[in-house]
Structure 1
Amino acid sequence: METLAGKHAVVTGASRGIGLAIARALQAQGARVTLMARDAAALEAAAAGLGGASGWQAIDVADAAGVAAAFERAGRVDILVNNAGQAASAPFMKTDEALWQRMLEVNLSGAYHCIQAALPAMLDAGWGRIVNVASTAGLTGYRYVAAYCAAKHGLVGLTRALALELAAKGVTVNAVCPGYTETDIVQEAVANIVRKTGRSEEQARAELAAGNPQGRLVRPEEVAHAVAMLCLPAAAAMNGQSIAVAGGEVM
């Protein structure tokens, strides 16, 4: 049964991986989906793969003016999924200001810009869903990713504060926090481990999967399922939550 029929969803970071899986899950529930990401060619291909029910806008979520213009073109938004993100690793004393600012701009300020653009229409309608794709790094600490952890903790904090502010206005705000997931970001982490330690790719993947009590990497579709659930009308009482999709790694 289509339960999001008539709703318009925007998903950022939607050209591949978790974002594309989320777009697919929301479309399966009947929503019209607009994909947003930086790579126009990848977006066009992703939208074509979803069929005629989806559109796309190329944006950099760190660019406030560009975000505002893209949302203006996209039209009224009922569901916003802030999935765009980047991860960069470095020991803290080798984390320069440029890396620090980039992690904050993409992983935290990007969500702020998109919410600023989408929220007015939700408030006018008295209904909306905002889901921030954070990370287990927003719930705990990890070595060598201080900037990423700080940004994702900030995103969880933003989720909780905004959920309370909007609780009586028909708009819910939640976060989904994946563990290590089969995405390009994890592939980059694997390559980084191989390069720096000399381990094989199989050993590097096993090291990342070991943090999950299920002994595996999470699949994008599993994250998408959690996001879609939070967007349903029946999830109206789910508000201010940060749901770990990580096989029990974080409880």
Structure 2
Amino acid sequence: MTGNALNGQHALVTGATRGIGAAIAETLGRLGADLTLIGRNREGLNERAAKIASASAVKVHVETADVSDPKIVGAAFANASAANGPVSVLVNNAGSAKSAPFHKMDQELWDFMIGVNLTGTFICSQAALADMLEAGYGRIINVASTAGLTGYGYVSAYCAAKHGVVGLTRSLALETATKGVTVNAVCPGYTETDLVRETIDNIVSKTGRTEEDARAELASSNPQGRLVQPWEVAETVGWLALPASASITGQAIPIAGGEVM
């Protein structure tokens, strides 16, 4: 997806250093949006920002932040607005997927998963919404997961958080339906990212299977028999961010080759 459909807009992407978040930031930059990239790794953010600015000739601001901390998020959004103007497109991509059998899960893991995946989405959405409502225009796009639409064993905290993201998406979409603000979620299946790389390594170390077998196991959940590519998720997000997508709101869109229907 290319063009200048987002010229004059400010898109903020959390978890933008690598993987899906990086692909989303690159796509929104190609569409002409000025960007704020939020993540935890300043060096990685700066490298990503330089790459996007060179390729797309847009302004790119970076902020390091823990999205589950409202004070830090508030400061990051204030700095972002000072640099690029009010946020008109928010992509809540920051997240983590840790696994554990339910009976062995401690509350620390539970709290962390809810915090980064769900509470972070709430905090960032609230930080962006006031300016969107004042402008009468905005796009909030939450990166959920097929785990927000169905259940998977050994990731109950992740599933709970992502189901919460989908519920939040639908509820907020109704609150903003007449305000010019759309709220949607994309729900990728297993995607070719560092996160899935870690999952594959975990399967290999715990089961003794080969890397090829572990990858095939993850791909088998997709009826197309493959892993989703980050750019496929990014293109969907780019479409939802367009002014022309004004009638699409409250949706949780699977990007998983037919795994969830």
Q: Which of residues 17, 42, 63 in structure 1 aligns to 2:69? A: 63
Using the TM superposition, name which of 189-198 and 43-52 deviates more.
43-52
Q: TM-score, normalised by structure 2?
A: 0.95
1:145 shift after superposition: 0.2
Per the alignment, residue 43 of structure 1 pairs with 45
- Give 2:122's aligned residue: 112
CA distance in 1, matches of 2:20, 2:244: 23
2 CA distance for matches of 1:49 and 1:210?
34
Instruction: Identify the residue that residue 161 of structure 2 maps to in structure 1.
Output: 151
Aligned to 1:14: 16
Identity in percent: 62
> Is residue 110 of structure 2 the alignment partner of residue 100 of structure 1?
yes
Which residue among 221, 225, 250 is the counterpart of 2:231?
Answer: 221
Q: State the 1:63 CA deviation.
A: 1.1
Paired residue secondary structure (2:47): helix
Give the secondary structure class of the aligned counterpart of 1:36: strand
Q: How much does 1:149 deviate? A: 0.1
Aligned counterparts of 2:130 and 2:177: Cα–Cα separation in 1: 15
Q: Secondary structure at the match of 2:161?
A: helix
SS in 2 for 1:20: helix
The residue type paired with residue 61 of structure 1 is V
Let me know the Cα RMSD of the aligned residues.
Answer: 0.7
Q: Which residue of 2 aligns with 1:31?
A: 33
Q: Which amino acid aligns with 1:46?
A: R
Which whole-Å CA distance do the structure 2 matches of 1:48 and 1:28 have between them? 14
Task: Give TM-score scaled by structure 1 length.
Answer: 0.99
Matched with 1:183 is: 193
How far the C-alpha of 1:139 sits from its partner, in A, is: 0.2
- How far 1:62 moved relative to its partner? 1.1
Alpha-carbon distance in 2 for matches of 1:145, 1:177: 16
Query: Does residue 169 of the first structure (1) align with residue 190 of the second (2)?
Result: no
Matched, 1:91 2:93: no
| SS, match of residue 234 in structure 1 | helix
Shift of 1:116: 1.2
Shift of 1:41: 0.9
Q: What count of residue pairs does the alignment treat as equivalent?
A: 251
Unaligned runs of 5+ residues in structure 1 are: none
Q: What is the rounded CA distance, in whole Å, between the counterparts of 1:3 and 1:242 in structure 2?
A: 23
CA distance in structure 1 between the aligned counterparts of 2:214 and 2:225, rounded to whole angstroms: 13
